[in-house]
Amino acid sequence: MDSRAEAERSMFETSHVLGALLASSPLLTQAWNRSMRVNAGNARFVLDRSDDAVFVAFSGAHTDASPSAASSGLGGGFFELVPLYSGAHELFEPLGGGEGDDGGQPPPVLLQAGALRLFMSLYHSSEFQVLISETKNKSVVLTGHSVGGCMASLLGLYFLCASSARANAPTPASLLCITFGSPMIGNETLSRAILRERWGGRFCHVVSQHDIMPRLLFCPLNSMPNQFATLIHNLMQSWQVSMCNPQSSRSTLGMSDNQKAELHHYISMHISEAAAEQKHQMDIYRPFGNYALCSTEGAVCISDPLTVLKMLQLTFMTGDASSSIEEQHISYGDLVSKLSENLQFKKRLHSEEYETKSNYSVGVSLALEASGLGVQDMGAMEAREWLELSMCRRPNLNSASLAIKLAKVTPCRAQIEWYKDLCDDDMGYYDCFKLRKAPKRDSKVNINRIKLGHFWDSLLSMLQDNKLPHNFLKRDKWVNAAQFYKLLVEPLDIAEYYRCQLYKTRGHYLNHGRERRYEVFDKWWNEEKAANRKRSKFAGLTQDSCFWAKVEEAREWIENAQGEKNPTKLVKLWENINGFESYANGLIERKEVSIDVLAPRSSFSFWVNAVKEMKLKQACSVPSSTVLVGVTGGISAIAVARGGSATPLWFQLPPDGRRRGLARTEDEGKVGVVVVTIAGGYAETVPHLRF
């Protein structure tokens, strides 16, 4: 048995454990009680403080958000998927990043039209400012039943987007969103964006086994047969009556068994079609976050979107749905109570199950029972396969596997480190690799560079697909490993880019050649906020992994400046040159460069010498006592030669009468170059002025 199979055999299936943990928590009861209370009132939402947390419950029975109002839009309108329009797009901007399947721009994020309209109405109201002030820097639980859950989800996304976009945004300190029987609110692009941002753990959607509301939007609402549209409309009206009057007896339509069976079959058919569709379709609803699939036997918590979709189908098709299809959407209070009671009377599997199966297989069987499927029921075999497939992508197992793969590519990194040490005393490993001074050795380094790139790209792909733990980016091991890789290997990528002269066809590396992984690693490191300690010796690796790309651009500026006749362009070139020179000197003073940067024959050392020579060649002589003085509006700058000379290299006189000058000063044999800019005045030479 290989190591992966052994690891899987020793793993536990935890979806039923998470379900039991959720059922034992008071959070479900607390959230449901507040959802029921706001449904019975007239407000859009209620704020309620409990111990250290603030609960915000949204009404699912409010006039504009009620099932009855939503049902009027079954033919298009309320439940239609729409793109983020002007204003809303800015609020949810972080959701629009990432890449499509082809590496280009992803399809647009689409949201439920009715829920988005309700949220924007709340956002532009005075109530929203009260909500923001009451939740700022607090632990917040957002909740809602039915369409109220859609509002809770959108507010949760707003808070997460705001905190991601602005560090000082007035957002909660911690956030959890719990919904009950809520319709889905977005398409697959939204689902992927939430996976990419690692926000799935902030959402828990509680769904009863035969509740049609969370599954309804898989049906083609625009072409729904009239008989089903009428049934659903009437159902939603009866639900609204019950939600507004929770103490009274529940209102039912008295649907016939035949009507229930036909409606159940119609919805089951379309869930099956949605679950079978593996291609990315922009205009189809998709789940996001964690789903707590509940039955009278318990609950299972699942986060993988494909597995959630399949389990929504299989659990709905199992059991006698016709007897509960009317009531389950308004019976979450009973369900929450039964969940905690069932923990005390949990069924046990037969002892032979433990003897013949692995820990994981037993866990899957327990999960099937908790979901209401049972071990032998229809769909149990298919559900088992989906849970096992989900386990094969299990985040913790993948993380452990990645650690093994990292150990296997570590020798590649070590060989590049050895190569760098070997080159430091001559011209540095950047220039050695770029010039291919030792072809055989450089070829080996190039292979190692490519292997390391493939490893880190595969890691990012797993992150994108939510195959790694939610706290993966909080683990110092991986953040530090990614940073070390970037600092060591990106200079080689830059060298290869300029060796192949790709900058001539694509443009310079920084804007046109940098791999996405390095930008991601920059973000990881910046979020880590590493302490900026003062160094006593030069760094082992230059702390700006793009330093050599900036050197290459600076070399081009020097070449262009040598032949440039246009004063305006020359000013810009010298501003760039001096800006980079100041930046590089700052790195050197702080010892944030590796010693290979200062190697005698490095590209940077050649650049420094080229700048000095160019400044000297462009100098021309003037009387020894000449100075540049800024007048009219005050003296802004003076280039003075004390006992030597001030040599103007060039002057610019734009139409506005302002002069800019570059002068070389000689002071007792010391040579320096000063850029003189006179703001609000002009510059002139004043002979025979001595100090």
Rg over alpha carbons for the chain, rounded to the nearest Å, is 33
The one catalytic residue among 146, 365, 545, 645: 146
What is the residue-wise DSSP string for 493-527? HHHHHHHTTTHHHH--HHHHT--HHHHHHHHHHHH
Q: Pick from 223, 316, 319: which is nearest to 269 by CA?
A: 316
3-class DSSP state for residue 112? strand
Position 534: which residue type?
A: K
**Calpha distance 433→172 (Å, rounded):** 50
Beta strands in 102-180 (DSSP E): 110-112, 139-145, 174-180
Q: Which of these, 491, 482, 551, 552, lies nearest to 522 by C-alpha position?
A: 482
List the catalytic residue out of 205, 264, 329, 508: 329
Pairing of strands 139-145, 53-58: parallel
- Name the token pair of 178: 């719990």
Question: Annotated catalytic residue: which of 211, 304, 431, 493?
Answer: 211
How far apart are the C-alpha atoms of 211 and 330, rounded to whole Å?
Answer: 9
89 is catalytic: no
Question: What is the Cα–Cα distance from 640 to 634, expressed in whole angstroms?
Answer: 17
Per-residue tokens: 345: 């009377």
DSSP of 259-315, one letter per residue? HHHHHHHHHHHHHHHHHH--S--TTSB---SEEEEEETTEEEEE--HHHHHHHHHHH
Query: Is 624 a catalytic site residue?
Result: no
Q: Which residue has the tokens 């010391």?
A: 670
Residue pair 107/100 in contact (Cβ under 8 Å)? The answer is: yes
**How many helices and strands in the chain, by DSSP H and E?**
26, 15
- Active site annotation includes 211: yes
CB neighbours (10 Å) of residue 677?
16
Q: Which residues of 280-306 are buried (b: 16+ CB within 10 A; e: fewer)?
A: eeeebbbbbbbbbbbbebbbbbbbbbb
Alpha carbons 283 and 280: distance in angstroms, whole number: 9
Q: Supply the residues annotated as catalytic.
A: 146, 211, 329
